[in-house]
Structure formats: structure tokens, C-alpha cells
Structure 1
Amino acid sequence: MRTHLCTSLGESHIETDVVITGWTNSRRDHGGLIFIDLRDHSGIVQVVVSPEQAESFARAESVRNEYVLRVSGKVSQRPEGTENSALPTGEVEVVADELVILNKTDQLPFQIDDDDVNETVRLKYRYLDLRRSRMQGNLRLRHALVRTIRTFLEKRDFIEIETPMLTRSTPEGARDYLVPSRIHTGSFYAMPQSPQMFKQILVISGFERYYQIVRCFRDEDLRADRQPEFTQLDIEMAFVEESDIMQLMEDLYLLVFRKISSVELPSQFPVLTYADAMRRYGYDLPDLRIPLELTDLTEAMKREEFKVF
């Protein structure tokens, strides 16, 4: 159906016949010519439709945002002064020989490039919300993160094993989500809060290095660090010391930040014992970016008669 992605086109493709497909990001009628910014998952390229192509021009006149199009044409250098440095394809355009409307759209509840949209509306029309560049970027970032984690662990002889989703209730830190059994009337499956029991069984079965990027479910109230459904990296190792686990996690974090965010973290992470954390911060997960530590005033206040409580 297509020969190229939109952003794969550049000056090296000038005078090349191409077929591209995608969604109409915007349409501009400049009197004699119609300009369409066509968007696929890779990005945007400008399409020019001339009245010389009568049928395609007539179709282009009816095009609205988010119409799905297929365009056949020739890649051309943009006229001097019309280049768009904000686009990777800003030096070229596709002069359409044929424009076909693959699918039309009803009136949109919001414009895809509008950042000020009520969240309820976004969730109702999630398929439109996910077309937004920010949302596309988020999901592609997640994909890149998962791929990096898998590559890192597999190079270290870990194997990925899926564990059951329908299981029995086990003692964890939250309530279980329950699924009624059709076969065993009156009985329920529990959705796993974590694969804890299964991964320990795997290790004593001889799988010394296990990992899984796994969905977990916990029936508890929403908080900033609590979700009813979430994905976690689950790891279990045999024949290792505490330092081996810490080094593995440090190396993983260093790689993830370098590859995904282009950030170089310090090669040696600061280490706090639980006792030190509680003594210095009164909390076992202190934010070390905030240089506030507890001060012990016992000696200074022991002779004071004033009682705070």
C-alpha cells in the first residue's frame, strides 16, 4: 500500500516516485494549490495537490483533519523560502499524482494538537488522544525501556518466564482482585499482586536467573505510588550476595538512563543502611536532593524544664 514512511523522505529522494499513507494533520487551501500535512507514526511530510490533477484536487478540497489518505506522487524540492526547519522533511514535499481518501472522519471532539483538553474527554476518545505526539512518544519510550531491560538481562544469562495470572490468594500487602470460576461454582481465582511464590518455585527448580516484565494487581486506594494495575520488573537470582544484587541494579539503571534519556548517572550510587537512613532522615526512602537531616537535640535540651508535649 505504501513505499515509504513520511519522515523517511529527504533530499536524496528528489524525483523519486513514492506512495505514502497516513492521517491528515492539517490542510491549507492557497487558492491554486492545496497543501496537506500528512502524518504517520514516523512524523509529517507536506503534500501538494494541483488543479492539474482534477480528480485528486476535488477529493483534496473535501479533506478535513484526521481523514486517512493514500498519496502517490513525486518527491520534489520545496521552493526557496518555503522550507520548514521544524520538520525533518522540511526541505522536500510530495507533489501528488493521485490522492485517495481511505477513510473519512466525523466532526472531532477536540483537535489532536490541542494540549488543553479535559482529561475526561481524552479518556472517552482515547483512540484520538493516543494519536497525539506526546502520547505516541510516551508509549514508544516505554517500548524502548522494556527492550533495553530485556537486552541487558539476557546478556547476563537471565531467562524470561511467564507465570500464571489466575491463581490462589497469597499473603501480600494489599487486597486481591478476585475472578469467579465458571467451572468451580462459589470459588474464585485471585489476580497476582506479584509473582513472588512462582519465582521462588522457579529458582528452587533450577532456574538460577529469572526475570519477567509482569502485570500485577492490587485492590487498594489510589495514591501517587499506588495503582490498582501496574507493570513491574520482577527478578530472582540464586547463589548471590547482597552486593551482587545492588551491582546488577546499578548497572541496569546506568544503562537505562544513558540509552533512554541520554543522562550519565554517577557510576557509584550512594549507599545508606536502614539504620543510617532512619537516624539521619527519619525515613527509609529519603530524597537526597533535599539536604535536610535530623538534628539530635537530646544533650542540648536535657536540662530544659519546658516540655513540648
Structure 2
Amino acid sequence: MRTHYCGELNSGLIGQEVILCGWVHRRRDHGGVIFIDLRDREGLIQVVLDPDRAEVFALAEQARSEYVLRIEGRVRPRPEGTVNKDLPTGEVEVLGTGLTILNAAETPPFQLDTHSADTSEEVRLRYRYVDLRRPEMQERLRVRSRVTRVMRNFLDDHGFLDIETPILTKSTPEGARDYLVPSRTHPGEFFALPQSPQLFKQLLMMSGMDRYYQVARCFRDEDLRADRQPEFTQLDIEVSFMTEDALTGLMEEMIRRLFKEVLDTDLPNPFPRLTYAEAMRRFGSDKPDLRVPLELIDVGDLMVDVDFKVFSGPAQDPKGRVVALCLPKGGDLTRREIDEYTKFVGIYGAKGLA
């Protein structure tokens, strides 16, 4: 059906006959010569169709955006001055000698070569199959695939077994509500979808499967929030006969390899470590984002004798705390913005803000 992906063509293939399949990303008619940018998951290639081959040219005239084509042709260098340095395949083009329209297409609901922010999310989700054709969306799927592959390879190399656990199970007392699935064979009874494979991991450890992992699907019947969603995927791991430090070191090594192989980013060895007490004292959170340089500074000793009881009270209380956050350009905040931040920090237990 095809010999190459569009994005694979380069100067090393000049002179070769190729067969390509893909979508019409863009079509241009330049004075009797038709140019088609053909797109597949690996990228774009420019296809040139001359009127010398009347039948092929007539089909090319019918092609429109998002038509699915099969094109036969010969790879050749682009004419001098027309090389596209922004395109990996920009040094070559394909002179089309055969064309088949595999599928016609209606006019797309939005342009695929525009930024996703220019199209409403509602429209993108309604036409998800079109949205997923965007290069940025396809790259995200490729990154996810590479992440999963690197993790699997690393864990396989370190003696972990990839074991699949059941999806239909019993309800377990965890942090959120379970999704329930009615049983046809047992009227009035229900299966629960697992929030995580916790029970099965423990069974596997007791059974002697001392290193287990699974890229597991998890389900939680709760309202959508910034850090919660109804279903998600997590890397699930359980081990026996391993110390906490050994397991932590192994996971750090896996994350370092993951960032290096997927993003070509070097992470420190070892990772920086904070005690719970230090994290709470400096950031007020047990999972601080260390990319944010803002830290809490204790000023209780300065507030003990002030007349403002809102500050002096907590400063004198052994369980109280008064801290300052040095905010760049904080002096530019309006009173309204400060009041909104005061409401916001109340969500996390702060008694006040000034």
C-alpha cells in the first residue's frame, strides 16, 4: 500500500520511486502545476503534479483539504531557492506519477495549521478525530508512547513482572467513591471499578511475585478538580524484600532515564531531598514546586508585642505561626486582589492574609 511515511523522505532517497498515503494538509494551484502538502503521522512532504499526466492531474484538481490520498512518485531535490529549512523534508519533493483518492472529505470544521487556542475547546472535542490530526496533538501521543516504553524497558531490565489485574472487582475503602457496574447474572449485585490495584498487588506479594508493575487504569467517581479526574492511568508498583532507600533510588534512576531518553534532559543524581518538616516550614506544602522561588519567612518574633491582635495572638501561641511571603512586585497588588488572595489561602487553612 505504501513504501514510506511522508516525514521519512530525505535527500538520501533522491531518485527512488515511493508510494505514500496520507491526508491533504494544503493544496496550491500555481499556474497549471498543483502542489499538495501530504501529511501523515511522521510529517509533511510536498508533492508536485504536472499537467503532463492528464488523468493524474485531473484527480489532483479534485483533491481538497483532508482528502485521503495514495500517491506514487519519484523523490527529487527541490529547485534551488525553494528549500524549506523549517521542514525536515524541506530539501526534497515528490514528482507525482500516480494518484488515488482513497477517501473524500467535507470541509474541516477548523484549520489544522492554526494554533489550538484559536479554536474553542467545545468544537475541538466535538470533532476530536480531526483535532487529533494536529501535529501538536500527535506529538503528545508519541511522547506518551515513548514514556510508557522507557518505563516498561527499565522495569523489565530490573526484574519486574508486568502483571494485569482485574477491572471488575469488589469495592474497597479508599479515598473516593467507586464506580459501580450492575451484574447481569446476580441481580441487585454490583462490581466496582478499581481506584487502584491495591488488593491485587498485596495478593501478588503474598504469592511470591516480589517485583510487580502495571500501567494501570484507575477509576474514581468524584467531581472533576485540578488534581482529580474520573479515570486516569498510573504506573503501579509493588515490591517485597527491598528497603525504602533502595526502592527510592531505583525510582529516581528510572525517572532520570525517562527524562534523558524522552526529553534529552539530565536530572540531578541524587535528587534533592527535603524532610516533611522542612518542606512545611519553607513552603507550607509537603509537595512543593521547587521551580517557584517563593518561601515562607517566619516573622513571629517581630509580632509578639504589636497591638494588632490578629498577628500578636498567633505569634504568642506555641501552635501558631506568622509568616511573610516576599512577593516580587507585590506592592502593585490592588486591595481587591489582596482580598481575593485572602479567600484563596483560606481554602488551605490559613487564618488570614495581609
TM-score category, normalised to shorter length: over 0.9
- Counterpart residue number, 1:69: 69
Q: How does 1:1-309 map to 2 (within 5 A)?
A: 1-115=1-115, 116-304=118-306, 306-308=308-310
Secondary structure, aligned partner of 2:309? coil
Deviation digits for residues 194-236 of structure 1, max 9, x if unmatched? 0011101101110010000000001112121111110000000
Aligned length: 309
Deviation digits for residues 96-139 of structure 1, max 9, x if unmatched? 11111111001211111122111111111111000000000000
Q: Report the residue type matching 2:64 in the other structure.
A: R
What CA distance in whole angstroms lies between the structure 2 residues aligned with 1:14 and 1:299? 76
| Offset at residue 268 of structure 1 (A) | 1.5
Deviation digits for residues 32-70 of structure 1, max 9, x if unmatched? 210101111111111111111001111111110110111
Q: Would you say the 8 A contact 2:65–2:107 is kept in 1?
A: no
What CA distance in whole angstroms lies between the structure 1 residues aligned with 2:98 and 2:135? 27
TM-score by length of 2: 0.84
Secondary structure, aligned partner of 1:169? coil
What CA distance in whole angstroms lies between the structure 1 residues aligned with 2:60 and 2:140? 32
What CA distance in whole angstroms lies between the structure 1 residues aligned with 2:297 and 2:197? 41
What CA distance in whole angstroms lies between the structure 2 residues aligned with 1:194 and 1:77? 54
What CA distance in whole angstroms lies between the structure 1 residues aligned with 2:131 and 2:308? 60
| Offset at residue 184 of structure 1 (A) | 0.6
What CA distance in whole angstroms lies between the structure 2 residues aligned with 1:148 and 1:49? 42
Residues 92 and 218 of structure 1, relative CA distance in 2, 3 Å threshold: same
Residues 87 and 303 of structure 1, relative CA distance in 2, 3 Å threshold: closer
Secondary structure, aligned partner of 1:90? coil
What CA distance in whole angstroms lies between the structure 2 residues aligned with 1:143 and 1:154? 16
Residues 69 and 291 of structure 1, relative CA distance in 2, 3 Å threshold: closer
Deviates more, 1:273-282 or 1:258-267: 273-282
What CA distance in whole angstroms lies between the structure 1 residues aligned with 2:292 and 2:121? 32
- Counterpart residue number, 2:326: none
Q: Would you say the 8 A contact 2:33–2:50 is kept in 1?
A: yes
Residues 204 and 70 of structure 1, relative CA distance in 2, 3 Å threshold: same
Deviates more, 1:217-226 or 1:4-13: 4-13
The structure showing larger relative contact order (alpha-carbon pairs under 8 Å, at least 6 residues apart) is 1
Q: Report the residue type matching 2:29 in the other structure.
A: D
Deviates more, 1:270-279 or 1:46-55: 270-279
What CA distance in whole angstroms lies between the structure 1 residues aligned with 2:14 and 2:283? 63
Residues 188 and 305 of structure 1, relative CA distance in 2, 3 Å threshold: same
What CA distance in whole angstroms lies between the structure 1 residues aligned with 2:215 and 2:255? 16
- Structure 2 gaps of 5+ residues are 314-354
Runs of 4+ in 1 over 6 A off after TM superposition: none
Q: Would you say the 8 A contact 2:73–2:96 is kept in 1?
A: yes
Residues 302 and 188 of structure 1, relative CA distance in 2, 3 Å threshold: same
Q: Would you say the 8 A contact 2:7–2:44 is kept in 1?
A: yes
What CA distance in whole angstroms lies between the structure 2 residues aligned with 1:292 and 1:24? 49
| Offset at residue 279 of structure 1 (A) | 3.3
Deviates more, 1:11-20 or 1:231-240: 11-20
| Offset at residue 252 of structure 1 (A) | 1.2
Secondary structure, aligned partner of 1:39? strand
What CA distance in whole angstroms lies between the structure 1 residues aligned with 2:269 and 2:43? 36
Q: CA RMSD in A?
A: 1.5
What CA distance in whole angstroms lies between the structure 2 residues aligned with 1:289 and 1:5? 40
Deviation digits for residues 69-108 of structure 1, max 9, x if unmatched? 1111111221111111111221111111111111100121
- Structure 1 gaps of 5+ residues are none
